[in-house]
Chain A
Amino acid sequence: MVEGSCPFIKNILLLDSEGKRVAVKYYSDDWPTLNAKLAFEKSVFTKTQKTNARTEAEISMFENNIVVYKFIQDLHFFVTGGDNENELILATVLQGFYDAVALLLRGNVDKREALENLDLILLCLDEIVDGGMVLETDANVIAGKVASHSVDSAAPLSEQTISQALATAREHLTRSLLR
């Protein structure tokens, strides 16, 4: 929709070590059907599989799109943009996603942990990009918004765990009151 003058993210993919979906989100109509999406994921996965994208984010081009990617354990993170996009903006979004997930999973970043906390991953995607527009790139802020469900998004995560504890306590209280 707003391609060209404004940075536009076409999709964000989180795949496992066999190329299967953990969570994906598409914002452009370039891949209208499920099969087109799966085919894109497969080709991106197989072509990047052998590269070493564990310390620094790597980058490549597919079908006139730029894809930046980074791997950790058995999780593969991808962010796709058009071929005119500023590569560094895409890399910033990728890094934001990657770091936010690491914060939310408290360092245990692997497929099992990601699936067990899939709600957090999905909320995280929702807070990073809205309809292709970059919403937030700072991993602390993203993770904060997802984890705390609270007002103060800029607070560091260590404090948020406390507020989260308070929230759960409140929840218990209300439940016992309702009973």
Chain B
Amino acid sequence: MAQPLIKKDDDRDDEADYSPFLGIEKGAVLQEARVFNDPQLDPRRCSQVITKSLYLLNQGETFTKVEATEVFFAVTKLFQSRDLGLRRMVYLMIKELSPSADEVIIVTSSLMKDMNSKTDMYRANAIRVLCRITDGTLLTQIERYLKQAIVDKNPVVASAALVSGIHLLQTNPEIVKRWSNEVQEAVQSRAALVQFHALALLHQIRQNDRLAVSKLVTSLTKGTVRSPLAQCLLIRYTSQVMRESNPNTATGERPFFDYLESCLRHKAEMVIFEAARAITELSDVHTRELTPAITVLQLFLSSSKPVLRFAAVRTLNKVAMTHPMAVTNCNIDMESLISDQNRSIATLAITTLLKTGNESSVDRLMKQITNFMSDIADEFKIVVVEAIRSLCLKFPLKYRSLMNFLSNILREEGGFEYKKAIVDSIVILIRDIPDAKESGLFHLCEFIEDCEFTYLSTQILHFLGNEGPKTSDPSKYIRYIYNRVILENATVRASAVSTLAKFGALVDSLKPRIYVLLRRCLFDCDDEVRDRATLYLNMLVGDGSVVETGKDVKDFLFGSLNIPLINLETSLKNYEPSEEAFNIDSVPKEVKSQPLAEKKAPGKKQSALGAPPTAPTSSSDAYERILSAIPEFSTFGHLFKSSAPVELTEAETEYAVNVVKHIYDGHVVFQYNCTNTIPEQLLEDVMVVVDATEAEDFSETASKPLKSLPYDSPGQTFVAFEKPEGAILGKFSNVLKFNVKEVDPSTGEAEEDSVEDEYQLEDLEVVAADYVLRVGVSNFRNAWEGMGPDCERVDEYGLGVRESLAEAVSAVINILGMQPCEGTEVVPNNSRSHTCLLSGVFIGNVKVLVRLSFGIDGPKQVAMKLAVRSEDQAVSDAIHEIVSSG
């Protein structure tokens, strides 16, 4: 059998896989490198050997330190040859070997000779090589030549020096900064690329000097910049200057805007696009300013080049997030892109349309998407599903058609990730839109009738057990659940049994029927299913008769296991069978320092195709579990809210710390997430000392230090405060205290003795928004009417001069920390007045609804009428206090 297979391989090698490098080996090539030492150099042969070594390195082969040194020394011999081609390969090889400091000295003189050669090609390349491998001390020696090279009349030499300068600025800024006169001269060069490189370097030299950058931009935008690349740079710098300067408040004119607009008429597409993108990214961009940029992007949409279409649709997609109205003009072009060959373009077009669509166009859009969905890959489908989910949350009244769409695609073919995205979306819609609950649960039931993914089936059954019993007619779900018991694999059967028990426990009228069904499960062939059935039967039935469900049972069925599973697993493994029964209380509840789910890299941008941020997941559940597992905090009661992490350190400092504020009725717990970014250190007994002198109502009750904090493995330390009930505010200053031990990075072992040290963190405030949960309502008007005017309070406020209405609206939303409803957080352009609807839950579980009416007049004075309705007059007053003090 093996014989013909090998033969076939050989055949293929002969035909297609011919390669001049076939079968070459590192050892043999290193042998061959000896020709470099020949007294009579053969340039051709030497070039070939270098090419072979470069090929090996390029394929991922590595040279050991000794081998690299050997090759390096051999290569230096080749400077004797005057062959131009060979010299180029020598340069390449030296860069690739990145020699160490003592080796660099060997080639320095040869390279310096080349730097002053009459041949421009030598000069340019020698500069690049030398700057790549050099260090600070050597740089001072060659500085004079580099300054000359920058203003060399040969553009290749000038560019080489400038680009090297850009790299050297990272390591030796003080030296490169001395070249700015020469660089400035090079900016005026007639050679396009020299101008580009000079501009890039000049800006980097001056980037911390705002005035200088502003001057640079002012002079260049008036003059002529030849190269399109340099023009792109100038556009970037210009928009940077525009961001930092304030527009003329009286007329709303911005400096430099005319320049950006003129770039829209440039002949290079690269520049047109850069300018259009810069305009769309201006802060608080006005519709009047957007229009010309949108127009050129619209032209790009029908270009024959995929790259142009992609660039345009991606930019419009971003614009649609903030200014959906401005993009609607492109909708027709956008709709034709749904059938684009390039699926990235098609998906971006669809998600843009979903964002710009208004309530009335939803149905038509859905029809188009249905055709589109059948022929794209799963990963794009997921992006579309997420866009539809956020559309549905924006227009809750349209839930019917959107939910239908989701259930339809749920029935079609698809992989696990895709199906999971759909199921997650339906679950979120059920949670956030009460009206959608019954139909959503019904769709999920249909889905598990024919679902090939065990994981999804069990998730849905679990969700059904929690939500199903609370619906108007729980009995109709029983059939679907029991079908699982008959038809599925053991895992799903076991989970269905648990779901049945939950229905039995909560719905008394169903209890006798559930009892019968569970009895049948006693004869299942899987022991887990039988065990569960036996357990639940005993819980539901006392003394042979059907009884009221006790509190213990409900706790058991619906409560969460407040022990980390990993700890339970180790405890169970260590348990030795004996007379003494396993005691679950003996399991440690402490969470081992492990990265938390929310600890995402701060700079990490969200999904590339402009997917909307995923709806809030139940990370608060995770927090609650962690906190209640700590004995000191377990008595605080129900966790009301956990804030988003607030950074207490600048990015890229030695220790990164952020804090999550956990609010309870009578307590506040600060969870400090610390990361040690120094490999040479081990921190021990890490704690945060909090000074609460500016927060009189708070008194510290407990502090939980972190035993050890190794490099790059985040850990948490906690501090708890007692406070009176209600929304109490305060400001806290923090100092991180710890013992440092030196660690040898090569062995990872810490030294014995430690040094006490501390690290100042930024201040932290508990603000009113921390006491308000963002909870949406599906139909604001109904909720508002239902609440009634009993505890209503209305007042008017002047907000002073604001940049725009939209800015004022988002500022107020942020201060209140409430959930905008029905898409009212988006302010249409040019409108003079706006009404925004917010809902939330105030601490103490009081529902609050807010109706904000804004008006703006000529000189941008914004006035606001705030109407609050809640179940408690004191809470309505508290909301007004937030605004009047904020």
Contacts and interface: CB of A to CB of B under 8 A. Distances in A.
A6 B719 CA distance: 44
A52 B341 contact: yes
A89 B232 contact: yes
Interface hub of B18, B19, B82, B237 (most chain A Cβ within 10 A): B19
B20 interface: yes
Interface in A71-128: 83, 86-92, 111-112, 115-116, 118-119, 122-123, 126
A68 interface: yes
Interface in A33-69: 34, 37-38, 51-52, 56-61, 63-64, 68
B270 A88 contact: yes
A28 interface: no
Given A56-B305, A115-B19, A126 B92 contact: yes
B193 A135 contact: yes
B51 A151 contact: no
Given A21-B58, A58-B306, A86-B232, A2 B200 contact: yes
A87 B84 contact: no
B54 A122 contact: yes
Contacts of B40: 178
Given A64-B608, A149-B88, A150-B121, A56 B229 contact: no
Contacts of B164: 130
A122 B92 CA distance: 8
Interface in B77-93: 82-85, 88-89, 92
Contacts of B95: 126
A15 B844 CA distance: 63
A5 B240 contact: yes
Interface hub of B119, B233, B307 (most chain A Cβ within 10 A): B307
Given A2-B204, A56-B304, A58-B306, A145 B229 contact: no
A137 B307 CA distance: 17
> Is chain B's binding surface mostly helix, strand, loop or mixed?
helix
A48 B59 CA distance: 21
Given A21-B58, A135-B193, A145-B121, A115 B21 contact: yes
Nearest to B87: A149
Contact of B229 (A89, A149, A151): A89
Given A119-B47, A122-B51, A130-B128, A83 B608 contact: yes
A171 B44 CA distance: 10
A89 B163 contact: no
Contacts of A122: 51, 54, 58, 92
B59 A118 contact: no
A123 B193 contact: no
Size category of the binding interface on chain A? 35 or more
Contacts of A116: 20
B279 to A, nearest CB: 14
A149 B232 contact: no
Interface string A2-14: 1001110000000
A115 B236 CA distance: 40
Nearest to A131: B167
B634 interface: no
A93 B269 CA distance: 14
B55 A123 contact: no
Nearest to B348: A61
B394 interface: no
Contacts of B170: 1
Given A150-B121, A178-B40, A118 B55 contact: yes
Interface in B626-684: none
Size category of the binding interface on chain B? 35 or more
Contact of A130 (B85, B154, B163, B240): B163
Interface in A126-155: 126, 130-131, 133-137, 145, 149-151, 153
B20 A7 contact: no
Nearest to A1: B170
Nearest to A68: B307
B884 interface: no
A90 B85 CA distance: 29
A88 B207 CA distance: 25
Contact of B166 (A58, A68, A133, A151): A133
Contacts of A123: 88-89, 92
A174 to B, nearest CB: 7
B609 interface: yes
A88 B58 contact: no
A34 B95 CA distance: 18
A130 B197 CA distance: 11
A59 B344 contact: yes
B193 A136 contact: yes
A171 B83 contact: yes
Contacts of A115: 19-21
A82 to B, nearest CB: 10
Interface in B6-60: 18-21, 40, 43, 47, 50-51, 54-55, 58-60
A37 B57 CA distance: 13
Nearest to A37: B60
B273 A149 contact: no
Interface string B597-614: 000000011001100000
B232 A7 contact: yes
A137 B268 CA distance: 14
B689 interface: no
Nearest to B118: A151
A119 B51 contact: yes
B390 interface: no
B305 A86 contact: no
A5 B196 CA distance: 13
Contacts of A68: 307
Contact of B236 (A5, A112, A126, A178): A5
Interface in B220-271: 229, 232-233, 236-237, 240, 269-270
A123 B155 CA distance: 18
Contact of A1 (B43, B120, B167): B167
B306 A59 contact: yes
Contacts of A135: 159, 163, 193
Interface string B293-312: 00000000000111110110
Given A130-B163, A133-B166, A6 B270 contact: no
Interface string B269-280: 110011001000
Contacts of B119: 151
Contact of A5 (B60, B207, B274, B604): B207
A3 to B, nearest CB: 11
Contacts of B232: 7, 86, 89
A15 to B, nearest CB: 12
Nearest to A91: B307
A167 interface: yes
A86 B228 CA distance: 12
Contacts of A137: 193, 229
A6 B121 CA distance: 26
Nearest to B273: A88
A7 B229 contact: yes
A60 B269 contact: no
B203 interface: yes
B745 to A, nearest CB: 16
Contacts of B51: 118-119, 122
A59 B342 contact: yes
B205 to A, nearest CB: 12
B156 interface: yes
Nearest to B379: A47
B120 A151 contact: yes
17 contacts: A5-B204, A5-B237, A6-B236, A38-B60, A56-B307, A86-B274, A87-B308, A87-B314, A88-B273, A111-B19, A118-B20, A119-B51, A119-B85, A130-B167, A133-B166, A149-B85, A178-B40
Given A86-B270, A130-B163, 15 more contacts: A5-B203, A5-B236, A6-B203, A7-B232, A24-B58, A38-B60, A58-B307, A60-B342, A86-B232, A87-B273, A87-B311, A89-B229, A116-B20, A119-B50, A137-B229
Q: Which 6 residue pairs of A and B lie closest in terms of their CB atoms, listed nearest first?
A: A149-B84, A87-B311, A88-B270, A61-B608, A91-B307, A119-B51
